[in-house]
Amino acid sequence: ASAEIASDARVAEPAGSAEFAEAVLAGLAATPRSIPSRFLYDETGSALFEEITRLDEYYPTRTEIALLRAHGDEIARCVAEVDTLVEFGSGSSRKTRLLIEALDGLETYVPIDVSETFLAEAAEGLEADFDGLTVTPVVGDFTEPRDLEGVRADRPLGFFSGSTIGNLSHAEARRFLENAAELLGAEGSFLIGVDLQKSLDILIPAYDDPDGVTAAFSLNLLARINRELDGDFDTDRFAHRALYNAREGRIEIYLESLADQTVHVLGQRFTFAEGERIHTENSHKYTVEGFRGLASEAGWKPARVWTDEADLFSLHLLQA
Ligand code: AVJ
């Protein structure tokens, strides 16, 4: 059936540079200025994010991995008979492997991602390492409604790790959860990693580390514009800013101009006053009850939640 999936369920990879150009020109012309966070992840950005996940200050990755290690068997018991794992965004292979190991005897793994490169990485070695497992990658934007036409799944489990859902506004997150409910169907369940609200002493350094890895990750967006869109940003004259917006319950990330300056992108001129910002990312933090409420509104039944001892991070199991 995998040949069928290749022709039926795949959508074309978005024309990368045209989409990037359009978003950057529109985002720089808008008031306030903003560029969608998905453009942070070119090859350099993805490598820098990998480095972020290994920082002492960046607790989410290691905490979620510890939760999967500690509770994988219990999660597997809660979703007995699951035959297919559907991963939204081909996440970190360490987490995927931990979950597949726990879901002993899984038949099919379906990573969904816009990047063929990430999909190839996600699939790498899995069929060889897990007896009887078939990997059927699906190229596409996992935030859009789609079906798993061609993939035989009697009981699918969705997996959305890393608190990537935190990049979405509450309204977008609800819509995403509704789409996922439709995709996974009446026998579906969903395991989601969600970052928790916590003290700013922990939160701020996680998004503004003293070694400047997160700053480099942010500023790479300007370097990417220079590389791909004939830009002339002076990356030394912009600074990474991470602020907590208490009203929205989220980290907001900006690139702030350190001087009055003029920048060109694809022949267009943009002037910045000193202190003017480009909004590049939101990272929403939830309470356990807040996320369960959102999931309920989206039509899911919140089943179980696992958190670490310090209440840094949560893993939610939702049932159709
Ligand atoms: C990949 C969206 C989960 O919000 O923690 C980390 C992105 N940006 N440091 C997060 C991010 C800066 C990350 N997510």
pLDDT tens across 127-163, in order?
A: 889 999 999 988 888 777 577 767 878 899 999 999 9
In this prediction, residue 247 carries a pLDDT of 97
The tens digit of pLDDT for each residue in 106-134 reads: 999 999 888 888 788 878 889 889 999 99
- What is the pTM (predicted TM-score) of this model? 0.92
In this prediction, residue 15 carries a pLDDT of 52
Ligand 1 and 52: CB distance under 6 A: yes
Residue with the smallest CA separation from ligand 1 atom 1 is 164
Ligand 1 and 167: CB distance under 6 A: yes
Ligand 1, atom nearest to 206 Cα = 9
Other CB atoms within 10 Å distance of the CB of residue 122: 23
- Asked if 272 and 282 touch (Cβ cutoff 8 Å), the reply is no
Distance of CA 104 from the midpoint of ligand 1 (Å):
30
Rounded Cα–Cα distance for residues 191 and 99 (Å): 10
Classified as helix, coil or strand, 253 is strand
The tens digit of pLDDT for each residue in 170-187 reads: 999 999 999 999 999 999
Distance of CA 8 from the midpoint of ligand 1 (Å):
32
Cα first-last separation, the chain = 26
Rounded Cα–Cα distance for residues 140 and 228 (Å): 22
Ligand 1 and 283: CB distance under 6 A: yes
